[in-house]
Amino acid sequence: MKTAQQTTPAAPPTEKGANRREEILEAASALLLEDGYAAFSARGVAARAGLRLSHVQYYFASPAAILAELLERFVRRYGDEILARFGAGSGTGEERLYRALDFLLNDEAYRRDCGIFMIEVAGFAARNAVIAAALERYYDVYFDLFSGIVKTLNPSLAPRARARRARQCVALIEGMSMTRPHMGPKGEADFSAREAARAIMRLVAGE
């Protein structure tokens, strides 16, 4: 449930208004990725977008409201990508899971964006209710996503067991992403998606 602090003015129901809001979010995303949370401000977003500060404040009540929307976009965009990779093509459950996990653990753009949101921005959730609520929503979507994957891999699991396994999957993936990676043949970071897929398959099977 949203609090009054989370409520932001709605964009006018026009194409121009929707485009303006998108311009602000794109500028905010670029600013956040380049300069980090410490240098993030509504004024900086306005300058980046070539707009007046009042224009940014019309669509977003605070810098935290901008960050909350960016976090929502992040989880929606990458959640769709994970499901697409899991569902694409044929293969065993483990092979399908590997495709999704290889993206989660090794895609450079995803890891960059995740580092900004889940390490830098999330550190301020305890001090800002808007960011805290957005972070909670992020994990709700993440858990729901893996609950669906777990159900596909093991339809016999009861809903409560499925939810528990989904949370364990998320914890396992986050734990692996924070460990020291292997180095690939070209010197790039290489987290073992195969290893993660095997571990999750055992977890889903109740082993």
pLDDT, tens only, 74-88: 888 888 999 999 988
Average pLDDT, stretch 165-194? 70
> What contacts 193, CB < 8 A, 6 or more positions away?
98, 101, 102, 104, 105, 106
Q: Residue 173 burial by CB count (10 A; 0-12/13-18/19+): exposed, middle or buried?
A: buried
Tokens of 14: 């026009």
How far apart are alpha carbons 39 and 21 in whole angstroms? 21
- Residue range(s) in the chain whose domain bears CATH number 1.10.10.60: 10-60
Domain 65-205 classified CATH 3.30.530.20?
no
What is the chain's mean pLDDT, rounded? 83
Q: What is the pLDDT of residues 98-124, one digit of tens each?
A: 999 988 888 888 888 887 777 767 777
Is pTM beyond 0.85? Reply is no
- Residue range(s) in the chain whose domain bears CATH number 1.10.357.10: 65-205
The winner for highest mean pLDDT among 26-40, 43-57, 132-146 is 43-57
Top-level class of domain 10-60: mainly alpha
